[in-house]
Amino acid sequence: MDPFRLTLSEAAYLIRENSLTPQELLESLLQRIDDLEPRLEAWVSLDREKAAATAKDYSREASEGKIRGPLHGIPVGVKDIYHAIGICTTAGSRILADYVPGYDATAVRRLKEGGAIILGKTETTEFACFDPAPTRNPWNIDHTPGGSSSGSAAAVSTGMCPAALGTQTGGSIVRPASFCGIVGVKPSYGRISRYGVIPVSWSLDHVGFMTRNVEDAAILLGVLAGYDPRDGSSSTLPVPSYDKALGFIDTPKLGLVKGFFHDNASEEVREAMEDAANRLRGAGAKIEVADLPDSFSAVHSAHRLIMIAEAAAYHEETFRKRAMDYRPNLRGMIASGLLVPAPSYIKAQRIRSQFSHEVADAFEGKDCLLMPSTTMPAPCGLGNTGDPAFNSPWSFSGLPAVTLPLSLSNDGLPMGIQLVGHPFDEERLLRVAKWCEDVVSFGHNLSHGARLPIQVDKF
């Protein structure tokens, strides 16, 4: 079996058992990239020489019984808004075309400390906003992979790497993960440090990642989570052993959120969601309808106002000097953000605080909330990255969210279910996600015979 087909947890186990070397795994992944990259364009850059040298060292260490951490020898992709020593950070923009940082983002540093090999930088929309990356959806290359973590989603989906970092301000992890048929995790706001990550919106940005199953997600979160004094929003709460907690759950209690999430879903998504709920009930889950507070009606407009105002504040100085070097969508967003009155921004922040407080009532007696991951499968065309409306409320409130691949549309495109958890209770969220994955997910697990993205075999 080709090593690129292994999940993170499978590859890590084989490396610990000396049945696979990091060099063999890296070589398989690089060959996979060489085979697929010309059509998918998931990568901005590959750090081949450094990755090869590191894989050689880690192979020797593993043979001597020295394991650096749970990710020893595992190559990981990094979205191109994270700083990594010696690798250009372009943020998908000509503004930073030649910028090479001299330090690692905390998330990158923790990956390395956990034994991971940084494979390279994955494509992003410009500054993780709206102007699309060149990446194509591997299930149908005429469709968007989603954004802004476009390259990370396509790379993980096709076995170019077993995991990749992303970020989410609106729906930039959950949406592309769903569109590409994989698992995406947006933890609670502050659970993973944002130090060394180029911001979109300080109030809304989340660090997260994509994997091919929930077990891998639990391992990765355990490496990345934890307090960082260099990030003022970083949580001091202790980090559980997420991977060890996966198997301990009774049948879950889920709150099915309808209303907005039913009315704005396509017919195919509604039918898939109903089928998933019935299958979960059939397996023993207790599901009842959950109502969101009245403040939900203002969430999307308040979210956008905060995002554009804070993005404009970050880019203001550069924008005044180089406005025409920004692509059209981001240029318009910054210009609009600079016009946001202070009272409007403050009111939007008050709505954020109110909704975050009031939404707790929807969780009463429930382990998680359940809803579709996206309004529709990945839309045709590469001019936009899809609608984040089903994801932005959870970025707005800071609640943790996971998307699981559910089924394929009539056009052969993935659809997903989204689980939203209690604040900083990713342990329970991942346990529920693993239970649901076993019941309903088609599980994009390349080593167990699940389907590859349809058009990959035609490349």
User: What is the per-residue pLDDT across 324-346, written as a single tens digit (0 to 9) for each?
Assistant: 999 999 999 999 999 999 999 99
**215 residue type, one letter:** E
User: Which pair of structure tokens corresponds to residue 261?
Assistant: 């999430």
Q: Which of 9, 93, 148, 188 is catalytic?
A: 148
Is 186 an active-site residue? no
Strand partners, 404: 417
Three-state SS for 163? Answer: strand
Instruction: Tell me the pLDDT tens digit for each residue of 15-27.
Output: 999 999 999 999 9
Q: Which of 9, 28, 79, 434 is catalytic?
A: 79
For the chain, report the end-to-end CA distance as a whole number of angstroms: 20
Is 447 an active-site residue? no
Q: HSE of 207 in the Cβ direction (CA atoms, 13 Å)?
A: 33
User: DSSP assignment, residue 1?
Assistant: -
| Distance from C-alpha of 409 to C-alpha of 310, rounded to nearest angstrom | 37
187 has a pLDDT exceeding 70:
yes
pTM given for the model: 0.96
276 has a pLDDT exceeding 80:
yes
Q: Which of 172, 178, 193, 392 is catalytic?
A: 172
Cα radius of gyration (the chain)? 20
- DSSP track, 51-72: HHHHHHHHHHHHHTT---STTT
Is 79 an active-site residue? yes
290 has a pLDDT exceeding 90:
yes
Instruction: Tell me the pLDDT tens digit for each residue of 238-271.
Output: 999 999 989 777 899 999 999 999 999 999 999 9
User: Which pair of structure tokens corresponds to residue 111?
Assistant: 């990956």
**Which residue ranges make up each domain of the chain?**
3-292+360-458, 294-357
With CA atoms as reference, report the closest residue to 210 among 265, 257, 147.
147
Alpha-carbon 326 to chain mean position? 25
- Name the CATH superfamily housing domain 3-292+360-458: Amidase signature (AS) domain (3.90.1300.10)
| Distance from C-alpha of 416 to C-alpha of 377, rounded to nearest angstrom | 9
458 has a pLDDT exceeding 70:
no
| Distance from C-alpha of 153 to C-alpha of 146, rounded to nearest angstrom | 8
In sequence order, which residues have a C-beta less than 8 Å from that of residue 20 and are 6 or more positions away? 3, 6, 11, 14
pLDDT the model gives residue 245: 85
- Using the CB atoms, write b or e for 189-205: b if 16+ within 10 Å: bbbbbbbbbbbbbebbb
Helices (H), 68-213: 106-113, 150-157, 174-179
pLDDT the model gives residue 459: 46
Residue with tokens 């056009």: 411
Strand partners, 414: 408
